[in-house]
Amino acid sequence: MTAAAPLDDASLQCGLLLESAQVQQKAIASSLKQLKAHTQELDTLVREQIRCTLVEELGALIEESTRAIQAVRALERAARARLLASALVVTLLSGAAMALCAWRLLPSAGELDALRLRREQLTAALERLEQRGGLIDLRRCGADQRWCVRVDRKAPAYGEQADYLVVKGY
């Protein structure tokens, strides 16, 4: 074996520098492995935290939705009750107005009885008038406005000189 030649300062410094670089590369590789492990742990923790937060927020959203649904249903019940009450009030007021109009405008039982009696009296008087010539069509005719009567031309004439004619309708 041959003896090693003495190294000059520049070579020695390069060797030391290379050795130092190797040591630092190993340290960096080790740090990178640790960083990678920490990153995976952190990723797992962040994902779990996100899941927990999401579950909490969704639970709160469900509770809030449930309260909103209950509030809407309560409003619906109140609106239905108000609608029913207003319809009932309108119906009662309409009925009361009709009853008041009927009470004010329609005749009472006594007035109806009086009107029936008056109608019977008028009917009897009309029948008497018809029997006594109430159906005679009597008018003023001509320039002199003389009294004329409508006669039945198909009926026979009466009297000694046949100067009486039957009035139409009798």
> Which 8-state DSSP code applies to residue 158?
B
Mean pLDDT of the chain: 91
pLDDT, tens digit (0-9, with 9 covering 90-100), for 130-170 = 888 888 888 999 999 999 999 988 999 988 998 888 888 77
CB under 8 Å to 103, separation ≥6 — which residues?
none
pLDDT mean over 78-105: 96
Q: Is the pLDDT of residue 6 over 70?
A: no
Q: Which two tokens stand for residue 97?
A: 């107005």
pTM: 0.40
What is the C-alpha to C-alpha distance for residues 170 and 137, in angstroms, rounded to an integer? 11
